[in-house]
Structure formats: C-alpha cells, structure tokens
Structure 1
C-alpha cells in the first residue's frame, strides 16, 4: 500500500475508532486524528428538538454519551444583521486540508505535519498567501466556510496530535487577497470538538453553525455567536450524520442534509418561541439510492441548490419539483457525491478534486478548472477543500 493510501486509511480509521469507542486516550502512542465523515446509514424519519441542558454529563449507561451538556447560553440564535454584500464574480477562494501524515520506514505510527490554509486567485488557482493561525492552533483542518462577500471566511483549525481538538477562527481578506490577522472564536460553553462534520457562516457574518455527531447515537447542530462565543445546541436522535449546513439569507433558519438522504430546515425563530415544539421541516427526500450532498441558499432565500449524486439541482424551500441546473462530468475516480460551495451571487459553484478547483457557471452550465497551488508541501496528502 502506498504511503498516501496508508495516510488516508489512517485518518479515516482513527476517526472511526473515536466515534465507535468514544473513550480512547488521544495521548496514546498511536496518535489519533478526527474530522472525517462517517458512512451514512439508512435513515429513519428525522426529527430535531430543542433540549434543555442536562444536569450532569451523559454516561455510558444511556443510549448517547456526550461529555458536556447541551449549550443554551445564546438566547438569540438568529443572524438578522445586514447581509455582507456580494461582490460579483469571486476573485479568491480559500483552501484547507488536514495535517499530513507519513510513516517512517516500516513504522505503524503516523507522524503528522501541520499545514496552513491558503488563499488562491480564483481565476488561475495561483497561491496568494498562507493564512496565519491563531495561538493554540497548529494546522488547518479540512473545513472552511465563506460569507457572501468573498472576503470573510470561517476556518476549522487543529490543535496538536497528542490531544487533538477542532477550533474555529475567522479571517478577512484585503482587496489584494492578503489575509488579515486571524480572530479565534473562544467558546463560553465547553464542547467535544474531536469530530466536526460541517461549518456554515451566516450572511451577516455574526453566527457560525457547525454539526457534530454524538458518540453512541444522534447528532447535534450548534449555533455560535462569533463575537461573544455563546452557543445554542439542538439535537436529533435519529441519525449520527448531519452536514451540508446552509444559512438562509435572512438568518432565521438553517438548512441541512440528514444522512445524505433528506434535506431539512431548522427554524430558529420557532425554536426561540416554542422550544418544545416541532422545529424542523423536511424539504426533499433523496431519490432512490442517489445520495444528497452540499446545500446553498439562493441569494433571495427562495430555493436551495444541492447535489444529487453529481447532478446539481435546485428545489424551492417550500418543497416541490426539483430543477436541474448542471451535470458536470467528474473524473472516473471521483467521489459518489459532489461537495461544493456557491458564491454570494448564486451564479458560480466551486468544487475540488485531485488538486484542481472546478468552477461551474449555474447560468450556462460551463465548467472550467484550475490547478490548486500552495506554498507548503504542494500535492501532498488529500486534495484540499475550498470555499469562495
């Protein structure tokens, strides 16, 4: 097996071990990394409910074990400030990847090399600059989310190999694409951030949503105030995999994909007014065995753009027939799903594969690609993820 294949297998295997065991010592001899997505299971009927904080930590005797109570310190989870303005066709994109891992000689113990996130010229893929990391973060992780202005980005960072955690920070780009000083998001409520499945930054840039699995079953969506660090958590017990988060432009709801089998919407206003009521709506179920991946609201908030397999479609947020927007031809070795990001105008889609950034025009279906060039260890490890 090649060193690259061994590295990918190690990352996936260690993540799975964390999810299944839930109690592995991260400081053990075999260093653990976390953050990859678990394979989807057949989903039951989904539901999402706002829960009050528990008086004590979950224990192994219950169906779900989680080291911290659900957070309720953020009383206003909506993001209703003025949306950051879209700036036309994106000029930049930001890439993020996991730390590199290699095995010296015949060793079975991985050695991890941190890598920074980077800014690229959207037209050429050329490297512009590394993004500096806040204190306490040694490497980028594989998650990055963009605001609609193509200048404000939320990035997941990785602490260190012996006690790995995921932390979040913001960065703003100048008009030349150069990153400013990173701003760490310091949470007021503790959380188990060894595995994070997705990130989404609100249109006004004031809230960060992220999804995490609950060890033993279920998953939660968290909304974080980036200025105060206060958080509000919601939980679903029906599936361990939530992802593809997307904020509505008005900041009053969050769309997400449940187990790659259904698109749902979480109503933040109803959660605040009626914490014990039904707060979710199923917008669309998957067709046959084709998985659903990625979500993006249209700029007016009336519809959602998503991928059904490799086909890009649009569906009204109220439900109804889907409309095909594009059918990009992916390489034969591409994933069965298409993970993408859409710019603030809603007209340009971006996805990555094997160190290339593919750009799809949603008005004409035209597809172009550019190489992703980085300043440190180019071409090493898995292809980065990107957002614009």
Structure 2
C-alpha cells in the first residue's frame, strides 16, 4: 500500500529465540526508509515513524492518533482521532472517531470526515485511511462501506458497501480491499473473506484470492503492483494479482506467531513488516520478514505498535 494501519495490545518482552529490539534487521540494504506505525507503548495511541534497521523512533507525528498515514510527499498526515465530545449512552459516553488531516509538523489540523453513525446504537466512526499516489484523494472505511474523498473535502462517495479498508495500487488505478462473500457447499451456504480489487475508473471489481481465509483489515501492495499482502486466519499471505496464486508466509516461521496485523512492504519489495503476538510468551512485537517466502522473521521493536506504511525517505 502506499499507506496503512490497526490496533493491538502492548508487548514488552521479546520472543525467545528471536533478536531483541534494537538489533539490526537482517538485510540492511533492504532496511531503508521509515516505517510509520501506531504506537501504543505509552497507553494512548501516537503516530510515529521507526528506523527499519534499529526499530528506534525517528519522529512523533501526532499524539492521540491512530491508523495514520503520510501523504506521498510526506508533508501531510491523515489519521483517525477520537473526538472529545460525549455522545450520551444508557451507560456512560460514546465518542466519535474522525478522519483528521494535519501537516507532518502538527500544523493546520482539521477534521476532513466527521465520524459516520452506524445503524446500530454505536459511536460514529471512520477508519483506516489511505492516500492516492497523487495525493488528491483518501480512501477509508466507514459504517457505509469503503468510501473516498478529495483532500479539499469535496467528492465524498461510497465506492462499495461490500468493502472496508481500501488500499491504492502504486499507480493509483486500482484499490484493493477485503470482501465477504457467500458461497454454496455440500452442507449448505457459508461465507468467507477474500482479497478483491476495484478499477477506479470503471468501478468494476474482481476477486483476486480464493482461499476464503482473509481477515478483515487493510492489505498492502508490493511496490511493483504485482502482489498483495494480507492477513489470514492462520497468519500472513501474499497473492499474485494476475494469477491469484497465494503464498502462505507463516509456513516458514520457526516460531508460531498469531494475531498478525498491519503488513506493509518495504520500498524495494523484499521485506514485509507486521505486528504479531509470539505464542511462547504472548507478547506483541513488530516483525520484519522476507516478502517472498516469509523467511527469517526478526523483531524490529518489542514496543506495542502496528505498521501502517513503509516509505522511502
């Protein structure tokens, strides 16, 4: 993806048998740029960038912010922030979650999309924004489905009610998302989730994966636009956009990881960063692994954080 997101629990202890946080990630030539993450280590979410080699914080972009993504030029950040206004409930308050734009230095903060109320009696929300490569539009999830809007606040539109978080392809012509569909089996009708793509110009959609094992949440495009990384019920996979062939990356993990979130490709497409829980000590860390086969997963940081993007400098 060109930009991404998610939520998680805080991890402190590093998984046994894996490098500790701060250890250089294998393949230094692939560890360029900066990884944008939602950091929960302080108890409240913050949007920060990490050094892909050391896992150290490079810069804090926004406090009390989550699911944030930098614009293609890096001058503006879009993120989700909880509103302070109480929405009275039978028990206590609910708080809307709005889509906010601000300069990467914190200036010129404004609400681009106020939280949208779902049909159920729940707090209004929008979630999981992603920038178009030209920086003119943002796609995001809402109770109405997958929407987009121009950054000047015009052109708000529901692209499909049958989709959630969307991610623009590197050329901006296609949006990938996870969609739930129903299918017939010998035992009756069942439902499953797969990766789909939408042509931005025609709004035509096409199913890419067919394993029915995708987890809802954002996906990520490889820099060459040929593969999509997504979370599965069992771990992490990539799917070839042209052929639909899938690769289960967790098959080469020596330590079983669960609760995978926020996969993002490195700028050269050779590595994928993601958040996961180690089942040995049940701590959540941010990992980096090979993008081709999932090999050599290493801890980048044991702080509670979920990647939303991996950008070049």
- Please state which band the TM-score falls in when normalised by the shorter chain: 0.5 to 0.7
Identify if the C-alpha distance between structure 1 residues 169 and 292 changes in structure 2 by more than 3 Å, giving closer, same or farther: closer
Give how far 1:362 is off: 1.6
Distance between the aligned counterparts of 1:192 and 1:257, measured in 2? 20
Are residues 370 and 343 of structure 1, via their aligned partners in 2, closer, same or farther at CA, if it must alter by over 3 Å?
closer
Q: Return the offset for 1:131.
A: 2.4
Query: Which sections of structure 1, spanning at least 5 residues, go unmatched?
Result: 1-34, 38-86, 101-112, 134-138, 173-179, 214-218, 272-278, 374-382
Match of 2:199 in 1: 267
2:168 to 226, 241, 247: 247
Q: Equivalents in 2 of 1:330, 1:212: separation in Å? A: 37
TM-score by length of 1: 0.54
Question: Within 2, Cα distance between the matches of 1:338 and 1:330?
Answer: 19
Write the distance in 2 (CA, Å) between the matches of 1:121 and 1:344. Answer: 13
Describe the SS at the equivalent of 2:167. Answer: strand
Correspondence for 1:57:
none
Higher strand share: 2
* Structure with greater contact order relative to length (CA < 8 Å, sep ≥ 6): 2
How many angstroms does 1:292 deviate by?
6.7
CA distance in 2, matches of 1:92, 1:122: 6
Q: 2: distance between equivalents of 1:158 and 1:255? A: 26
TM (normalized to structure 2)? 0.65
Counterpart among 281, 284, 287 of residue 358 in structure 1: 287
Task: Give the match for residue 222 of structure 1.
Answer: 147
Say whether the 8 Å CA contact 1:119–1:127 is kept in structure 2: yes
Q: How much does 1:281 deviate?
A: 1.8
Give the gaps of 5 or more residues in structure 2.
Answer: 1-5, 9-28, 88-94, 118-123, 181-191, 277-282
The answer on 1:368 being equivalent to 2:298 is yes
Could you give the per-residue CA deviations for residues 230-266 of structure 1, whole angstroms, max 9, x where no partner exists? Answer: 23322545x5xx3342201221221100146121112
1:30 maps to: none
**Structure 1 position 181 matched with structure 2 position 106:** yes
CA-atom RMSD in angstroms? 3.7
CA–CA distance in 1 between the matches of 2:165 and 2:252?
Answer: 19
Q: Report matched runs for 1:78-93 at 5 Å.
A: 89-93=31-35
Larger Rg: 1
Paired positions, count: 251
Q: Which is richer in helix? A: 1
Question: How far apart, CA to CA, are the structure 1 residues paired with 2:287 and 2:103?
Answer: 24
